[in-house]
């Protein structure tokens, strides 16, 4: 449950130091301040630079700018990896423990930069951080103390006292709770669907169009403690390659300079228009083939660590790359289990009695098939108790960028299933006229969010347990260097050399549906 009216969620803490784990020239691995740290600080936090400059010891040759790229010897008096691991234990949106560092992300409006969980805190966990830095310019190591500076969230509403704090930020909004889809005029329904939900700022996906939301395409998007911060990836790091014309929103297609490696940079499995998004993926992959691509890299860096949007888009991508076979037909996803509590069964029963004539609700059995791909029964009994597929089923190799040497890297955090939220389930309850039932929860009175796991997907290696519980060890770990850190093209070229220049390499095929 997230509360959006507390000071700790209206603000988030920032320091201008982003930590990277990089390989030094001698082959050893160490924690460094990101080489691009100062450029980002100037572009995004120019009005706060004086605050951090004033905290530096005097004299420090070069000031803040001179810290970028420096090797960090101690963090708060401890080995840097001790501090980084301690931070990773309490932060992160379900990513692999070793990959919660700053990174890049393909967003709907361009390439974006994630500051990482060390430089950005969702709550005031600490006021400052002490860094001991290798600093040959001074002829010795230097220790600096950099404060975290609180920043007012872009979606937070200003207040002057406790009364306006609560009035502006704490009262339930029109979308905090659900509504009866069949009990409001069409114009009111459109207004409801067009207003972003409070949880939208914590989801790594574009805001869905009202039409797509109304059609209730299954989604699986995790909530994170940090709101999204849209910081542009510096021009020196953003891909200089010309994207293919079929690129759209969070999906961008490139050909590398070797003229045989295609790249799909996929920042999310959601885009505003569901139908167009699916067609773009097919057209883009065909465009890569026409351009001569023989092999493909799908870059899902910072795709939420598993924050899938449209579940069917992930299945669709699997199908058009792999083609028709027993792992993709009749569907390329995982078998799933949903919760079937007493209230859920009552909703399914009311749907069977005709309370969802337009087929809008999640509990409508016409939306689902069983494990043998047969339609679910429509008599209200379908809820009565009685596949990370491309890697495990198709042998697609997975790579993780960055992370500490000696720590097993994983290529996903949450997989399979379907996530939803309180307002969506409340809509199911209200639309089937069950809001007054004793099992139905009351409306939320405050501006809160509650995430709900609605379905879990069964595993591939062990189909008796959810896939989420099982191992997802990456095949390849790509260490970062000063030249490749947060540089997508440099990372893709490194990956190409490590993966495609050595067998086995399967030729790229793009299959018509």
Q: Whole-angstrom Cα distance, residue 320 to residue 316?
A: 6
Q: What is the pLDDT of residue 96?
A: 52
Mean pLDDT lowest for which of 28-42, 85-99, 147-161, 373-387?
Answer: 85-99
The pLDDT value recorded for residue 382 is: 77
Asked whether 68 and 34 are in contact (CB, 8 A), the reply is: yes
| Chain segment 283-308, per-residue pLDDT in tens | 999 999 999 999 999 998 776 533 33
How far separated are the first and last CA of the chain, in Å rounded?
40
> pLDDT per residue over 49-77, tens digit each?
888 888 888 777 678 888 899 999 999 99
CA 388, CA 468: separation in Å to the nearest integer? 9
For the chain, the structural domain boundaries read 2-152
Residue 452: helix, strand or coil by DSSP? strand
State the pLDDT at residue 220: 47
Residue 34 pLDDT greater than 50, yes or no: yes
pLDDT tens string 230-243 = 678 888 888 999 99
- How much is the mean pLDDT over the chain? 78
2-152 is a CATH 1.20.58.1000 domain? no
Q: State mean pLDDT over 460-487.
A: 83
Pair 361, 425: CB distance under 8 Å:
no
Sequence-ordered alpha helix ranges (H) in 143-294: 162-169, 186-194, 210-214, 274-290
Omega within 30 of 0 (cis) for the link into 59? yes
Report the range out of 90-99, 264-273, 388-397, 410-419 with the highest average pLDDT.
264-273
Q: What is the pLDDT of residue 348?
A: 92
- Looking at residue 5, its pLDDT comes to 60
DSSP E strand boundaries for 373-444: 399-401, 418-421
pLDDT-derived band at 309 (thresholds 50, 70, 90) equals very low
Q: Which residues contact 100 (CB under 8 A, 6 or more apart)?
A: 87, 88, 91, 92, 116, 117, 118
Residue 88 phi, psi (nearest 5): -65, -25
Report d(CA 358, CA 374) in Å as an integer: 21
Three-point CA angle 270, 271, 272, nearest 5°: 130
Q: Is the pLDDT of residue 258 over 80?
A: yes
Helices (H) and strands (E) in the chain, counts: 14, 21
pLDDT of 447 strictly over 50: yes
State residue 162's pLDDT score: 87
Whether pLDDT at 16 is above 80: no
Nearest to 486 by CA among 119, 11, 131: 119
Answer for the pair 94, 453: CB distance below 8 angstroms, yes or no. no
Work out the percent of the chain whose per-residue pLDDT is above 90: 20
pLDDT of residue 430: 97
Model confidence band, residue 506 (pLDDT cutoffs 50, 70, 90): low
């Amino acid at each position: 449950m997230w509360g959006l009216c507390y000071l700790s969620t209206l603000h988030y803490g920032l320091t201008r130091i982003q930590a990277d784990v990089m390989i030094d020239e001698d082959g050893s691995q160490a924690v460094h301040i990101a080489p691009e740290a100062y450029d980002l600080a100037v572009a995004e936090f120019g009005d706060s630079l004086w605050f951090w400059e004033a905290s530096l010891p005097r004299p420090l040759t070069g000031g803040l700018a001179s810290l970028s790229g420096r090797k960090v010897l101690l963090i708060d008096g401890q080995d840097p990896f001790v501090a980084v691991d301690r931070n990773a234990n309490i932060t992160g949106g379900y990513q692999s423990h070793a990959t919660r560092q700053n990174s890049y992300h393909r967003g709907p409006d361009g390439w974006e930069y994630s500051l990482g969980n060390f430089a950005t805190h969702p709550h005031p966990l600490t006021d400052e951080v002490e860094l001991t830095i290798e600093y040959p310019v001074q002829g010795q190591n230097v220790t600096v103390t950099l404060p975290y500076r609180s920043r007012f969230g872009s979606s937070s509403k200003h207040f002057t006292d406790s009364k306006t704090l609560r009035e502006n930020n704490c009262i339930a909004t029109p979308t905090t709770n659900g509504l009866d889809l069949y009990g409001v005029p069409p114009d009111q329904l459109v207004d409801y669907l067009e207003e972003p939900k409070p949880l939208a700022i914590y989801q790594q996906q574009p805001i869905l169009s009202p039409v797509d939301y109304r059609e209730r395409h299954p989604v699986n998007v995790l909530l994170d403690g940090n709101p999204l911060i849209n910081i542009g990836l510096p021009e020196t790091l953003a891909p200089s390659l010309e994207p293919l014309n079929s690129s759209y929103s969070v999906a961008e297609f490139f050909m590398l300079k070797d003229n045989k490696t295609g790249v799909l940079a996929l920042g999310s499995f959601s885009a505003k228009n569901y139908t167009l998004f699916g067609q773009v993926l097919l057209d883009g992959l065909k465009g890569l083939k026409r351009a001569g691509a023989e092999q493909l890299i799908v870059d899902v860096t910072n795709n939420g660590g598993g924050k899938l949007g449209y579940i069917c888009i992930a299945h669709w991508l699997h199908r058009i790359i792999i083609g028709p076979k027993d792992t993709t037909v009749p569907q390329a996803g995982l078998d799933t289990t949903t919760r079937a509590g007493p209230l859920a069964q009552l909703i399914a029963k009311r749907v069977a009695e005709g309370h969802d004539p337009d087929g809008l609700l999640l509990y409508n059995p016409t939306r689902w098939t069983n494990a043998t791909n047969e339609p679910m029964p429509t008599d209200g009994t379908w809820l009565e108790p009685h596949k990370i597929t491309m890697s495990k089923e198709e042998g697609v190799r997975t790579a993780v960028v960055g992370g500490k040497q000696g720590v097993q890297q994983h290529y996903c955090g949450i997989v399979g299933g379907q996530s939803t939220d309180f307002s969506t389930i409340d809509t199911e309850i209200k639309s089937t006229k069950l809001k007054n039932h004793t099992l139905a929860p009351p409306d939320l009175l405050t501006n809160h969010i509650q995430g709900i796991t609605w379905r879990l997907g069964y595993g591939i290696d062990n189909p008796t347990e959810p896939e989420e519980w099982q191992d997802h060890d990456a095949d390849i770990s790509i260490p970062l260097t000063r030249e490749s850190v947060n540089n997508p093209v440099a990372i893709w070229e490194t990956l190409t050399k490590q993966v495609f220049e050595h067998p086995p390499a399967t030729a790229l095929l793009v299959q018509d549906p």
